[in-house]
Amino acid sequence: MTVAAPTPLPTVSEADPRLAADAREFHGVLSDLMRVVQFRDRDRICCYDVSVTQCYALEAVLRRGPLTLNELAAHLYLDKSTASRVVKALAEKGYLERRPHPEDGRAVQLEATAAGRRLHGAIERDLLAEVETLVADFDPEVRRALASLLARLSRAAVASAQESCACRVG
């Protein structure tokens, strides 16, 4: 199996050099922030005997309601076999359960157990306490604007990810 080079995305920066500079600066800052948050999440979440991916899976099931394995895999941007291993581990730990799908006899729905809800609540309280500390010095208007901008960026990133795949496996 070979992995082809990423398909270049269309760019508008040729017409707007300031956009290219802004994008480069934003990418650097966002990369730094994501790296810190990922390591923080890993260090905090692993104290609860789950991986970051398992925590994200549990959160997805709690936020979106019962999900099929395919829906969970798509939401987490994982292939089905990886999502299946994540679900298996969470089920073995008693945090998720598989129930028959009410409309599709071949599928199962994933639901959080009471233990899974308690675990997620504890992790979320821990992570939110740190976020509160990080944003405490910002004015309330800035905090709300930041949340709004990040939500907009997240929606744009999701839409972009759904439109194209960054690399092709062939």
Is the CB of residue 66 less than 8 Å from the CB of residue 112? no
Tell me the CATH number at 114. Answer: 1.10.10.10
- Residue 68 covered by a domain: yes
Does pLDDT of 170 surpass 70? no
Query: Using N-to-C axis directions, what is the helix angle for 80-92 and 69-76, rounded to 10°?
Result: 110
Backbone angles phi, psi at 67, to 5 degrees: -125, 150
Residue 101 lies in a domain: yes
Where does the pLDDT of residue 67 fall: very low under 50, low under 70, confident under 90, or very high at 90 and above? Answer: very high
In a domain, 99, yes or no: yes
> Percent of the chain scored above 90 by pLDDT?
59
Pick 163 or 58 by higher pLDDT: 58
> Where in the sequence is the domain holding 49, given as residue range(s)?
34-137
The answer to whether position 152 is within a domain reads no
The residue among 39 and 70 whose pLDDT is bigger is 70
Q: Give the total number of structural domains in the chain.
A: 1
Q: Does residue 126 sit within a domain?
A: yes
Tell me how far apart the alpha carbons of residues 135 and 143 are, in angstroms, rounded to a whole number: 7
Q: Which of 45-54, 138-147, 149-158 is most confident?
A: 138-147
Is the alpha carbon torsion for 77, 154, 36, 64 positive or negative?
Answer: negative
- The Cα-based distances of 29 to 32, 136, 144 in angstroms read 5, 20, 20
Q: What is the pLDDT of residue 2?
A: 58
